[in-house]
A and B are shown apart, each in its own frame.
Chain A
Amino acid sequence: MSIQEKSRSRGLGITLFIVLLMTPIYWLLNMSFKTNQEILSGLTLWPNDFTLDNYRVIFTDPSWYSGYINSMIYVVMNMAITLVVALPAAYAFSRYRFIGDKHLFFWLLSNRMAPPAVFLLPFFQLYSSIGLFDTHIAVALAHCLFNVPLAVWILEGFMSGVPREYDEMAYIDGHSFPRFFVKVFMPMISSGIGVTAFFIFMFSWVELLLARTLTSVDAQPIAAIMTRTMGASGIDWGVLAAAGVLTILPGVLVVWFVRNHVARGFALGRV
């Protein structure tokens, strides 16, 4: 095979994979623009009777759109908490050796690996007993369980890539530690912080089990509202599909913003 043919067959392979990857999403999108009659009456590859009614239902019914707002609130809260505590810790792990550092690091990581189902019941009891049940902060704190270790892990990788000399130079210039950290160090690893934020967003946004267990009405995430609505009076496939499409959009936006950094974030092999 010539080089040109080879690269053509590779291009074909990757195109095929991505087409297969996108087919289920296309089907969801397709269904979200159909009426329920059309969905149930037979298979059509594109909506014959194009309608935006399914989306209208979601945007006009508070019990639907409040789910999106709730999810957004706790995801943002979780991002803020996680970054604030993880930044100094990652710095400590990347710069210093201290008693128990390796074990502490492993213990943190083991929480990323613990099945959320294990923590379901005690979390419910814990947050009920301190009066935080059904609040956004409860979900945000619960998601810290797996996001903080992850953030520390990713950030530590990025920070280790910055030579120590920068730190020492800044000290010689007379910066205090907090000032150095915020003004000099954080800008240097801004892409790392971006990638970390991306992963925190991702894992908090996609999680359902904990979010559903810790909320009932006021802070219910969109994901839980979707499962609940499926039970009532048959399944409204069109609305369900539209709700699904709307949950994909924030992710697509976020990945667009960090697209140039994601590959590097993965390159550190720390997800």
Chain B
Amino acid sequence: MLDWMNWTQPVAIFFAVIAAILAGMTVFEIVSPCVERKGFLPIATTRGDRLFIGLLSAAYIHLVFLGVSEVSLWIALAVSVVWGLVLLRWG
């Protein structure tokens, strides 16, 4: 029944990681509820907001790497992860 979805391993890993992040954040939220605060971003954000901004900008970072350069996407991934962590901590 799932044949038509044409699952491939990298995509499965991708979605598994996203699901794991979401689950982790939910548990984190239950254990220690977060308060909205203002960091270097122009608006006050919660942890969830910063996660979303991080993921969305990660997608764009990858697109930019693909669109204008030939360098390996692992670099884009590294940049995204660092940026995501910065965002979660100080955003």
Contact = CB atoms under 8 A, between A and B. Distances in A.
B48 A125 contact: no
Contacts of B52: 103, 106
Interface residues of B, number: 11
Interface residues of A, number: 10
A102 interface: yes
Contact of A102 (B1, B5, B30, B48): B48
Nearest to B3: A129
A106 B30 CA distance: 21
B48 to A, nearest CB: 5
Given A100-B48, A103-B52, A129 B4 contact: yes
Contacts of A103: 48-49, 52
Interface in A72-112: 99-100, 102-103, 106
B30 A99 contact: yes
A126 B29 contact: no
B1 A99 contact: no
B26 interface: yes
Nearest to B27: A99
A111 to B, nearest CB: 15
Contact of B29 (A99, A102, A125, A130): A99
The 9 A-B pairs of least Cβ separation, nearest first, read A125-B4, A129-B4, A99-B29, A103-B48, A99-B26, A129-B1, A103-B52, A100-B48, A100-B26
21 contacts: A99-B26, A99-B29, A99-B30, A100-B26, A100-B29, A100-B48, A102-B46, A102-B48, A102-B49, A103-B48, A103-B49, A103-B52, A106-B52, A125-B4, A125-B5, A126-B4, A128-B4, A129-B1, A129-B3, A129-B4, A130-B1
